[in-house]
Structure 1
Amino acid sequence: MENKNDTSYQLMHAFIRLHRQKMHAGPIAGLNRSEMAVLRSISKLDKENGVKVSELSTYLKVSAPSITQTVNGLVKQDLVKRCPDSSDRRAIRLIITFSGKEKLSAAFEEFRLHFYGLCQYLGQSKSNQLIDLLNEVYNFFEGEN
């Protein structure tokens, strides 16, 4: 039986609560989490000629049909366009439109403001402590994999 006063239990519970909070968060700049992830990933991976769905799928560790479904929504919103691959007629590349870049910028700013509010709430010292602790947590979990 778990001991709710145990530090490891309390830490696990804090992470679970934080994860649940993320799950209930609304859209950012009108984009849901999967749309944001795909749009950000296209932006990051696109060097100059667009990104294939298979590249996105590998990068996000999500199935190609899931990526395609999200991309279809982004295309309908005119945030992403499909373009033929110049070296492979069968392949399609995804490119962020000007509207998509604007939406991504607005979403980033909205997201940044959330963290600005958190920094204001915690203060400089606790914010720096949190940064250090989260980096240590990341390194710990990264080392396990």
Structure 2
Amino acid sequence: MNKSGTIIIIEDDEDDRFVLEEAFNELGYSNKRIYFLDGLSALEYLYTTPERPFIIISDINLPQLNGLELRKKVQTDAELSLRCIPYVFFTTAINHQAVIDAYSTSAQGFFVKPGVFDELKETIKIMIEYWRKCAAPNNF
């Protein structure tokens, strides 16, 4: 985990991407952020970038390769799994089965997108600060 690395956000809704970027800007996080509209393009990026991203924040319902499928690929790929990139879901698709499915892929978090901007900012802050304080095998 590279705590100063890129934050990868996989979100296909343009309005949600705009609101997320506003929240990150207001919170003052200096990490570069890259947005992907689908899981497949995010996976291609992960395979080709030499960077070690800080965290992946993913919606579940995505075109081409949904968030759950992407998480499984990241988790089971030897090279990608060694990067120790935290993978959290940030979605409006909250139901019991979605939470079970997410944790069955060893996701490191499942957060529901709040409808109020200040609550969204607080949720992002909690996510980022938690992972900034965590130790990982590859950051010593």
TM-score tier after normalising by the smaller chain length: under 0.3
Question: Whose strand fraction is larger, Structure 1's or Structure 2's?
Answer: 2
The TM-score, its normalising length taken from structure 1, stands at 0.22
Question: Which structure has the larger Rg?
Answer: 1
With normalisation by structure 2, the TM-score equals 0.23
More helix per residue: 1 or 2?
1
